[in-house]
Chain A
Amino acid sequence: MELPAQTFQVTRADLVRYAGASGDFNPIHWSDRVATAVGLPGVIAHGMFTMALVGRAVTEWAGSPDAVVEYGVRFTRPVVVPDDDQGTEIEVTARVREVTEDGLTRLEVTATCLGDKVLSQARATIRTAR
């Protein structure tokens, strides 16, 4: 079963806000100068910000903010965020892999940016909604 796709817009302002909230001030997430100096095309989103947005999608599908039992991802491709008002978009979809007898649902999640997968092995286990 496929779950309905969710789309998240990501702008530079979102990265600055996430840096402050998470305490991750690595300059590759806010300085083009530093990002390009280490070989990136420009400022990229924190991997953990992408993971947090995908986590939002998962809790949305679960129907409860406390239903996630296990959640893991591999970061495969950076999400480049241009310095304009639109930023970029991350699209998140998921497929139900398994529903266990003890009330757990295992999801296989796909997250893409401009058509490229930015995560692999993205999996979440959620408790079935009460």
Chain B
Amino acid sequence: MPLDPSFVGRTYPPTAPYQVGREKIREFASAIGATDPAHHDPEAARALGHADVVAPPTFPVIVTMAASSQIIEDPALGVDYSRLVHGDQRFAYTRPVVAGDELVCTNTIEDVSTRGGHGFLTTRTDVSTVGGEPVVAVWARYVIRGEA
């Protein structure tokens, strides 16, 4: 079933706040082998001018992937999750995520199209603090593979 192009431009209600924990940043940094002290040691992070340990660049995907279920599982849009392939990913940072941030995601559908039997979906997630300070904008493009 082709995706409904009338969803382009739709913005979803902000998600519940995600509390960024120091141990979660350390765990994520360790999982990707990022050993810079600023990811692990609050003093090292403060020396760079941050309030607490600094998340690696792709850390926000933990928050945005969970938030994007709002779109991907929207029954009205009708994405077949079993055929979903992650095509592109992009981050534009206002500042790095740091421990202690309480982050809220606002999802927007930027593009919906069907070409060559495959569906394409581009989402933009604006990640900000609960206080409204922008932190990072995150784009993901998904391919929904057509029935062979």
Contact = CB atoms under 8 A, between A and B. Distances in A.
A92 interface: no
Chain B contact residues, majority secondary structure: mixed
What interface size band does chain A fall in? 20 to 34
A48 B138 CA distance: 13
A68 B57 contact: yes
A55 B92 contact: no
B88 A52 contact: no
Nearest to B84: A26
Interface string A45-74: 001110111011011000011101111111
Contact of B89 (A14, A20, A64, A72): A72
Contact of A52 (B48, B58, B65, B92): B58
Contacts of B27: 20-21
Interface string A7-30: 010000010011011111000000
Interface residues of B, number: 33
Interface string B40-60: 000000001010001011100
Interface of A: 8, 14, 17-18, 20-24, 47-49, 51-53, 55-56, 58-59, 64-66, 68-75, 121
A52 B56 contact: yes
B31 to A, nearest CB: 4
6 contacts: A14-B31, A55-B32, A70-B91, A70-B92, A71-B90, A74-B88
Nearest to B37: A65
A22 B31 contact: yes
